[in-house]
A and B are shown apart, each in its own frame.
Chain A
Amino acid sequence: MAEIYPELEPVLQRHGHQPDGLIEVLNRAQQLYDQLSPPLLRHVARQLHLPFSRVQGTASFYHLFRFAPPARHSCLVCTGTACHVQGAAQLLAELKAAPLDELGVELGSVRCIGTCSGAPLVVVDGAVWNHVEAGAVLKRLQELE
């Protein structure tokens, strides 16, 4: 069955197909396939000799695992303390009200990425945009390919 997800084999081997490697394997799987689909989770369960329920139960516990395909772009509003006291809640609310779906942008939030001197900030496709307000973010999101 391993041939379905051949790219996953190295990480499975590194952990000797042992159950304790589950989170490492899931992290890698999401990196490779963008999301943790039911067939992918079943594959992981078989490979690590775990019940499917244990794999799904563990995956659903952690915030960063996703079970639906991502949009073309992601925009994460940092809602850590430093960003919060500098207006992150309002920024998030304003962006929520904007038609980001039409731009192919998925809006989310993240609890502090530890570069607080740029607060309030957003992380767009992995890049940090510092000292932003909603209007400027929207404008730059519209310019994304």
Chain B
Amino acid sequence: MSDCLRLCTAASCRSRGALALLENSDRPVKEVGCLGPCSEGPLAAMGDQLLSLQPAENETVGPTLEAALARSRQISAEDPFLKLQRRLVLARCGVVDPGCIDDALAQGAYQQLQAVLAADDPSAVIETVRRSGLRGRGGAGYPTGLKWATVAAMPGARKAVVCNADEGDPGAFMDRTLMEGDPHTLLEGIAIAAFAVGAKQGYIYVRAEYPLAIERLRTAIAAAEAHGWLGKAISGSRFSFAIELRVGAGAYVCGEETALIHSIEGRRGVPRPRPPYPAEHGVFGLPTLINNVETFGNIPALLQLGVEAYGAGTKVFSLTGHVQRSGVLEVPMGTPLRTIVETMGGGAAPGRSIKAVQTGGPSGGCVPASALDTPVDYDSLKALGTIMGSGGMVVLDDTTNMVDLAAFFIAFSREESCGKCIPCRSGTVQLEMLLRKLLERRGSAADLSQLESLCHTVADASLCGLGQSAPKPVLSTLRHFRSDYLELLQPAEVAR
């Protein structure tokens, strides 16, 4: 099977004509998930050779796969974009056929679940996760082992596991990549978590904007049930576990865990105060474990490698924006930002320079070019006033107006605010008005100071993570690019 041509038919290559190539092909082709450098797509691979089927400018792709292959360009395995990755979560993504469970099984899917069930020691699994130091990959970075232990310790025979696949941050598509490229790794991770905490029911809450991910998850869940990896008495053990897929309907706030719970229950996706935390009172009032896609995706690799070999683990990023090569990459935790953006992504276009890198989406901030040597880990990014976030990384070159970018994010948060609490509902409106005023060069120094103080009010007084972090893009750009704001003040104001 290794000599078979693999063609990426995930969303990005699909938008670049991969399906037409698949239809116009005589040779056996295996459909796979993301191969990495999406900007070179459509992408194919043969063995460990990666091929870009991208047509030259002014040409169209194809028309047949053979014609595209004849003109293809090989991307060397020594290319830093490929070489500097460490693929644990995405190990089988781009290798396995996401629609074929037999292929996944042949490549080791569900072996860790089987081993865990055979050992029949949930607390040992939790201990392994705790010792690994794995932290939530959805953005907040809460220690995963601690979360699992909390849910496991809750009384009651019925518990639930929820996978947060509501990847709403614009510019982030790590979770889409895993769901489209290797759904069985995700299902295996969720099932292992359910066994560890003692849950029988699982939910995957996925955003409606990902139709292909939804389709592939449905196929994968049905296949796993048919092969006995989900359902009753899995692998001959006493463990029974079912997963239900719940599709969202376009509400960013549903990525917040209490809002997500309400949405699964068929209600408006409105957050509620915590405590009680979902670990105590979650879906339908049950003790509930909520982790995001990438966190669950780490579990099979972690158990297979063991804590020592797993080391500090990895983080998947989606690299986009003003960068020469964009796509999905998985790097060792602690890789310097410069390595990702410049060495792997090729930096800004010729004649341009990088001004900043935005991480963490509307809840995050900007890392200025001067701080690109920062290693990407939770604490280093936090010290810079941004967050690791879920993994969206948007590169901004020197043409970017940082005030405009801040206004963009505030407008996003304003639109997506659920309206429950006033600081977020009204605060984001006022913040946007102040930013627009500045952008129209009608702002004064007083407006700037009001902007800053209102940011702190909204951050301190909002109910949930959306409101609490909505001002971060403003505060972060004020901190690192204050001159962009000062330039917009009326001339008389600057002198004062």
A binds B: yes
Task: Please give the residue numbers on chain A whose beta carbons come within 8 Å of chain B beta carbons, in ascending order.
Answer: 19-24, 26-27, 48, 57-58, 61-65, 79-82, 84-86, 89, 110-119, 121, 126-130
Instruction: In the complex, identify which listed stretch (B131-139, B152-160, B266-274) lies at the interface while the others stay far away.
Output: B266-274
Compute how far the CA of A38 lies from the CA of B173 in the bound complex, rounded to whole angstroms. 36
* Contacting pair B405 A85 (CB below 8 A): yes
Compute how far the CA of A132 lies from the CA of B251 in the bound complex, rounded to whole angstroms. 26
Q: CB-CB contacts of B146-173 with A at 8 A, as 1s and 0s? A: 0000000000000000000001111111
Given contacts A58-B268, A82-B321, contact A116 B173 (CB under 8 A): yes
Q: Which residues of B contact A82 (CB under 8 A)?
A: 170-171, 320-321, 326, 394
Compute how far the CA of A20 lies from the CA of B321 in the bound complex, rounded to whole angstroms. 39
Among B171, B208, B268, B400, point to the contact of A112 (Cβ < 8 A).
Answer: B171
Q: Answer whether residue B408 sits at the interface, using C-beta atoms and an 8 A cutoff.
A: yes
* Contacting pair B171 A62 (CB below 8 A): no
* Contacting pair B15 A24 (CB below 8 A): no
Q: Which residues of A contact B326 (CB under 8 A)?
A: 82, 116-117
* Contacting pair B266 A114 (CB below 8 A): no
* Contacting pair A117 B209 (CB below 8 A): no
* Contacting pair B172 A58 (CB below 8 A): no
Instruction: In the complex, identify which listed stretch (B242-250, B329-337, B478-486) lies at the interface while the others stay far away.
Output: B242-250
Among A23, A112, A114, A117, point to the contact of B246 (Cβ < 8 A).
Answer: A23
Q: Which residues of A contact B7 (CB under 8 A)?
A: none
Among A20, A26, A64, A115, point to the contact of B12 (Cβ < 8 A).
Answer: A115
Compute how far the CA of A85 lies from the CA of B326 in the bound complex, rounded to whole angstroms. 14
Q: Which residues of A contact B405 (CB under 8 A)?
A: 84-85
Among A27, A61, A84, A112, point to the contact of B247 (Cβ < 8 A).
Answer: A27
Q: CB-CB contacts of B434-450 with A at 8 A, as 1s and 0s? A: 00000000000000000
Q: Which residues of B contact A116 (CB under 8 A)?
A: 38, 171, 173, 318, 320-321, 326, 394
Chain A contact residues: helix, strand, loop or mixed: mixed
Residue in A62, A89, A129 with the greatest tally of chain B CB atoms within 10 Å: A62
* Contacting pair A117 B320 (CB below 8 A): yes
Given contacts A117-B326, A118-B12, contact A27 B208 (CB under 8 A): yes
* Contacting pair B249 A115 (CB below 8 A): no
Q: CB-CB contacts of B291-325 with A at 8 A, as 1s and 0s? A: 00000000000000000000000000010111000
Task: Please give the residue numbers on chain B whose beta carbons come within 8 Å of chain A beta carbons, in ascending order.
Answer: 11-12, 14-16, 38-39, 41, 167-173, 176, 208-211, 246-252, 263-270, 284, 318, 320-322, 326-327, 358, 361, 392, 394, 396, 400, 405, 408-409, 412, 416, 418
* Contacting pair B320 A119 (CB below 8 A): yes
Nearest CB of A to B400, in Å: 6
Chain B minimum-CB-distance residue to A116: B320
* Contacting pair A20 B269 (CB below 8 A): no
* Contacting pair A85 B400 (CB below 8 A): yes
Chain B minimum-CB-distance residue to A121: B15
Among A63, A115, A121, point to the contact of B173 (Cβ < 8 A).
Answer: A115
Nearest CB of B to A133, in Å: 15
* Contacting pair B38 A115 (CB below 8 A): yes
Chain A minimum-CB-distance residue to B267: A58
Identify 27 residue pairs between A and B in the complex whose beta-carbon atoms are under 8 Å apart, listed by A's number.
A20-B264, A20-B265, A23-B263, A26-B249, A58-B266, A58-B267, A58-B268, A62-B250, A63-B249, A65-B250, A80-B171, A81-B392, A82-B394, A85-B321, A85-B405, A110-B209, A111-B412, A113-B209, A114-B12, A114-B167, A114-B172, A114-B176, A115-B12, A117-B12, A117-B38, A129-B15, A130-B15
Residue in A62, A89, A115 with the greatest tally of chain B CB atoms within 10 Å: A115
Chain B minimum-CB-distance residue to A25: B266
Q: Which residues of A contact B284 (CB under 8 A)?
A: 20
Chain B minimum-CB-distance residue to A27: B247
Q: Which residues of A contact B263 (CB under 8 A)?
A: 23
Compute how far the CA of A20 lies from the CA of B208 in the bound complex, rounded to whole angstroms. 17
Compute how far the CA of A86 lies from the CA of B265 in the bound complex, rounded to whole angstroms. 38
List the 3 shortest-distance A-B pairs measured between CB atoms, nearest first: A80-B170, A114-B173, A22-B266
Chain A minimum-CB-distance residue to B10: A115
Q: Which residues of A contact B400 (CB under 8 A)?
A: 85
Chain B minimum-CB-distance residue to A84: B408
* Contacting pair A62 B249 (CB below 8 A): yes
Compute how far the CA of A67 lies from the CA of B264 in the bound complex, rounded to whole angstroms. 22
Nearest CB of A to B485, in Å: 18
Nearest CB of B to A10, in Å: 14
Among A20, A23, A111, A130, point to the contact of B16 (Cβ < 8 A).
Answer: A130
* Contacting pair A81 B251 (CB below 8 A): no
* Contacting pair B171 A24 (CB below 8 A): no
Chain B minimum-CB-distance residue to A128: B15
Compute how far the CA of A82 lies from the CA of B400 in the bound complex, rounded to whole angstroms. 12
* Contacting pair A117 B327 (CB below 8 A): yes
Chain B minimum-CB-distance residue to A55: B266
10 additional contacts (CB under 8 A) given A81-B321, A114-B12: A23-B263, A62-B248, A64-B208, A65-B249, A82-B394, A85-B394, A115-B38, A117-B320, A118-B16, A127-B15
